[in-house]
Amino acid sequence: MAELNSTATHSHKRGVRRSKKLSTRVDLTPMVDLGFLLITFFMVSTVWSKPHASTLRMPAEGPPMDLGNDAALTLVALEDNKVFYYNGELGESLRKGSYGTTGYDQHNGIGDIIRNKQLAMDKGYKGGRKEMMLLIKPTPGSNYKNVVGLLDEALINDVKRYALLDPSKDEQSAVIAQATK
């Protein structure tokens, strides 16, 4: 508890009698100790935010489902932090010129490509953006950070349907040839 110390001072002058002057001093050291004990207690006993992991939903066993070419956007993670993207099938996309290479930048990056595809789906597709399927295909030259970046973009842009696939050898060679042009 707090401690109160007092010392009396006497004045010995003739004729006038003065009252005693008391000097008071409050020691707050125990109060500070109690404050730090309470802070420590609440820091130790508080539940901090728990780590959140994404749920991985695997496809059901059975025959593969058909996916409309207008609903598919394929992202191929390349080396040097580049992403090759195309709409629909690769061969048809290369003939039409609906492909490109971009990066992970905030502006003019892969996020803009996904948002533009969602807007196009809202305007011209029966189910809208909910029917968009994002196919993520990392190449051996890409790294883990690139794949996580693509999955983050899917989460940021509220893409409901996406899959992580391995690109075929033919697809890898065609994409790398187009990306290096």
**Residue 53 CB contacts under 8 Å (≥ 6 apart), including other chains:** none
- As a whole number, mean pLDDT of residues 75-104 equals 88
Domains of the chain: 3-44 (no CATH), 69-179 (3.30.420)
Quote the pTM value: 0.64
Q: What is the pLDDT of residue 127?
A: 74
- Residue 158's identity, in one-letter code, is D
- As a whole number, mean pLDDT of residues 101-117 equals 87
Phi and psi (nearest 5°) for 164? -110, 115
Cβ pair 23, 10 in contact under 8 A: no
**Any idea which residue has 């004729």 for tokens?**
15
* Most confidently predicted of 18-22, 48-52, 116-120: 116-120
Angle at the Cα of 109 from the Cα atoms of 174 and 176, rounded to 5 degrees = 15
